Amino acid sequence: MNERVKGRVAIVSGSGRGIGRDIALRLAAEGAAVVVNDLDEAPARLVVEEIRTAGGRATACAGDVTEADFAERFVGTAVSEFGDVDIVVNNAGYTWDNVIQKMGDDQWRAILDVHLKAPFRILRAAGARFREAAQRDIEAADRPAHVRKVVNISSVAGIYGNAGQANYASAKAGVVGLTRALAKEWGRYGVTVNCVAFGLISTRLTQTLGEEDAQIEVQGRSIAVGLKASTLEAFEQRIPLGRAGTSREAANGVFMLCAPESDYITGQLLEVGGGLVI
């Protein structure tokens, strides 16, 4: 690797597994110190050890991103362990699907909390650090050399909608709005704010029903994950590239917006879905 983000400090929510794990590994391989988060401590620590074994720097901040004190703790971990925060990737989330007439308020609220309220809180906490850093850069005549980055994760469901996902599609559409608002607010601080919308990516949340780990535990609830084989096949037939993406390919899309090559790109929505329109 070329270590294009060497010396930067990144926080990546939901990075103990799947796409988040690959985002954390890619950032670390490119020179960033990474704060790894997962709902459960064990997976987060495994990723930290993987990064350290490869010669990188990482620490864990386990916990539920929807908890009221999580955002400050997440950003604070980056500052206390590595001195600053330069890159924020809001990746944590899951799906809890149902048609709207069968969707309870708790189901609606849970998905909006994890996909929209949690990123809002994390960015609010990071904003104070960004403002302070921008002032330091101005005083050091370093602006705009040190561009800080935010990458929020959305979905093609948030762009085009998807049956059975009124909660998820609404939250992910909100992420796009949040991204574009903050791009306008934070440009003066030398912060780019962009969004990646994933299509069908192969993770445990999109595995074929009947495989292992067909449920996840969130706040005491067992939530079924995965898709019917026929549904997966139908989705893949609609992807111009003819297949689901890998978590590494998804992570590559995120890294593009963290790398120096994107320093003059902000307020943008990048679809990483092989051309899928649902």
Give the CATH number, domain containing residue 149: 3.40.50.720
Amino acid at 129: R
Q: Is residue 39 part of a domain?
A: yes
- 189 labelled catalytic: no
Name every residue whose Cβ is closer than 8 Å to that of residue 38 and which is 6 or more positions away in sequence.
14, 15, 16, 17, 20, 44, 47, 60, 62
pLDDT score at 143:
56
pLDDT score at 24:
98
Give the residues across from 31 on adjacent strands: none
Q: Is residue 89 part of a domain?
A: yes
The total of structural domains in the chain comes to 1
Q: Is residue 239 part of a domain?
A: no
pLDDT score at 207:
74
Residue 211 has pLDDT above 80, yes or no: no
Q: Is residue 192 part of a domain?
A: yes
Q: Tokens in use for 4?
A: 């294009």
The average confidence (pLDDT) of the chain is 93
Q: Is residue 115 part of a domain?
A: yes
Per-residue DSSP letter, 165: B
Q: Tokens in use for 118?
A: 């949690």
Contact present, 8 and 33 (Cβ < 8 Å): yes
Pairwise CA distance, residues 55 & 42, whole Å: 20
Pairwise CA distance, residues 25 & 8, whole Å: 14
Q: Is residue 189 part of a domain?
A: yes
Catalytic residue among 94, 160, 168, 264: 168
Q: Is residue 222 part of a domain?
A: no
Does this model's pTM top 0.85?
Answer: yes
pLDDT score at 170:
98
* Tens of pLDDT, residues 122-177: 999 999 999 999 988 888 875 556 899 999 999 999 999 999 999 999 999 999 99
Q: Is residue 217 part of a domain?
A: no
* Domain enclosing residue 135, as ranges: 9-201+246-272
